[in-house]
Structures are given as structure tokens and as C-alpha cells.
Amino acid sequence: MLKRKLFGSLREENKKLKAELDTLRRGAKEASDAVDAILITAAGTLGEKGEEEGARVLTLPFPDVRECREKYTLHAEKTDSGEMRITVSEKP
């Protein structure tokens, strides 16, 4: 009886953890898709004409994620006209 109760408890915990993992995976996918959309918009808007037909190329320094998070603050908002306004400032 104790084994059955323990097994049932472990099964329920496993079910909860799987659901939480699925939620985290969906969030990671949404974040990845958002970053892709921003990069596509930036390259399409600011990039130079590429060699391939219709291609745009934007070259940026490769970011050091830790340094960016430590040194800068980021604020992004949608304007009334539907554009994205991104403000970056150095932390004091």
C-alpha cells in the first residue's frame, strides 16, 4: 500500500514537472522567435544590399551577453504609430 501511494505521488510530481518543462520550452521558443523577428527587421531595414537577389546584410559586433546585461539598460516600447522604439543607456 505504501509503495502504491509513493508511486502515485511520484507520478503526479512527474506530471507537474513535465507540464512546467513544456511551459518553459514554449517560453524559450517565443523568446527565440521574437529575437529572430527583431534581427530580421533590423537587417531588412538597416542592412545593405546583399549579393543574393532580395538579400539585405547588416553587420554588427558580436555581443558579449554578460557585458551587455551588466553595462546597459534596455527599454523597448511600441509607439503610437506602431513602430518599435528601443532605448539603450549605460548603467550608472
DSSP single-letter state for residue 54: T
User: What are the CB-based long-range contacts (under 8 Å, 24+) for 83-88?
Assistant: 84/38, 84/41
pTM over 0.85? The answer is no
Domains contained in the chain, number: 1
CA-to-CA distance for 86 and 76, rounded, in angstroms? 4
Whole-number pLDDT of residue 4: 82
Whole-number pLDDT of residue 6: 81
Residue 79 lies in domain? 2-90
Find the Cα–Cα–Cα–Cα dihedral 37, 79, 27, 45, rounded to 10°.
Answer: 10
Q: How many CA atoms lie within 13 A of 79 on its CB side?
A: 6
Residue-by-residue pLDDT tens, the chain, 92 positions: 777 888 889 999 999 999 999 999 999 999 999 999 999 999 999 999 999 999 999 999 999 999 999 999 999 999 999 999 999 999 99
Whole-number pLDDT of residue 3: 78
